[in-house]
Structure 1
Amino acid sequence: MNPVLTIVVGITVLTVVTIASGGVFLLRILTGHQGANDLQKSFFRAGHAHAGVLVTLGVLLATLTAVVDASPGWAAAGAIAVLVAAIFIPAGFFLSVLGQNPAKPGPMFASIWIGAACLVVGLVISGITVINAGVAAL
């Protein structure tokens, strides 16, 4: 695996601690120990779920591309783009509904779209990189 990608994956694994603490925060909201309106509850749930799934997907892609002996640069680019999405998408969900009883998402909602673009780019790069490695191995 590319050394830079190895470092990024290691850092990513450590960030799972923040996802776990986000789960504790979400549990406090859902049990009524922390106030939140319905919009905030649904956005916090979505942010937490996207964080966990996208971090897992990014680590999976880094591992998959290393296993198939894909081009190290492209493998790193694809996995890192997905991991960037794992930052932007949850951030958009969480930060767009901060405040006292928001009625609609705020301007940070744009972060979700930026993250979605990073996700698509990362998936396309990773998919093509894995296919190329398979074709090269024929």
Structure 2
Amino acid sequence: MIELTEAARTTAGIVALTVVAIESGGYFLVRVGTGKVPVTEFQRGFYRAGHAHAGVLVTLGLVCLLLGEATTLDGYARWLAQTGVLVAAVVMPAGFFLSALGRGRERPSPWVALLPVGAVVLAAGVATLGIGLLTAS
């Protein structure tokens, strides 16, 4: 059984509470889907992608937090392995939602630049975790 550090337990508790915010995003999508919130097809797609990325990445982030406890990584590498996906779970959905804001928007705003930033953090986090797991003694 993996024993969680105090930091990992606190982070997991905070992240678990963010599911309420993701739920509210789901409610917003229901309103979009039922026509109560008028959006363009571009916006509908980006809002759906933002919501999906938030849910999947928070779930994966919690798994990475737990698995990071089974490594011998320390310092920045440990932080990246355990929280990189969780950072991406904020940055990527923000890129989808913020770049689609605005009445009648048909193309992403400059906020779309958050997507590749989040993707880099995501890749760095999972790669660091994978290496940490493979090299753990």
TM value normalised by structure 2: 0.91
Tell me the alpha carbon deviations over residues 48-78 of structure 1, each in whole angstroms, 9 at most, x when there is no partner.
Answer: 0000000000101111232xx3126344321
Unaligned 5+ segments in structure 2 are none
- Return the match for 1:42 from 36, 40, 45: 45
Assess if the C-alpha contact under 8 Å between 2:68 and 2:81 holds in 1.
no
Percent of pairs identical after alignment? 42
Q: How does 1:64-103 map to 2 (within 5 A)?
A: 64-66=67-69, 69-71=70-72, 73=74, 74-103=77-106
TM value normalised by structure 1: 0.90
| 2:116 paired residue number | 113
Shift of 1:9: 1.5
Secondary structure at the residue paired with 1:27? helix
| d(CA) in 1 for partners of 2:84, 2:112 | 19
Assess if the C-alpha contact under 8 Å between 2:8 and 2:66 holds in 1.
no
Letter matched to residue 41 of structure 1 = R
| d(CA) in 1 for partners of 2:13, 2:72 | 20
| 1:23 paired residue number | 26
Shift of 1:8: 1.5
| d(CA) in 2 for partners of 1:72, 1:8 | 18
Moved over 6 A (4+): none
The alignment of Structure 1 onto Structure 2 pairs a total of residues equal to 132
Tell me the alpha carbon deviations over residues 28-63 of structure 1, each in whole angstroms, 9 at most, x when there is no partner.
Answer: 100111111100000000000000000000101111
Secondary structure at the residue paired with 2:100? coil
Assess if the C-alpha contact under 8 Å between 1:2 and 1:72 holds in 2.
no
Secondary structure at the residue paired with 1:96? helix
Unaligned 5+ segments in structure 1 are none
Letter matched to residue 53 of structure 2 = H
- Return the match for 1:58 from 51, 58, 61: 61
Secondary structure at the residue paired with 2:111? helix
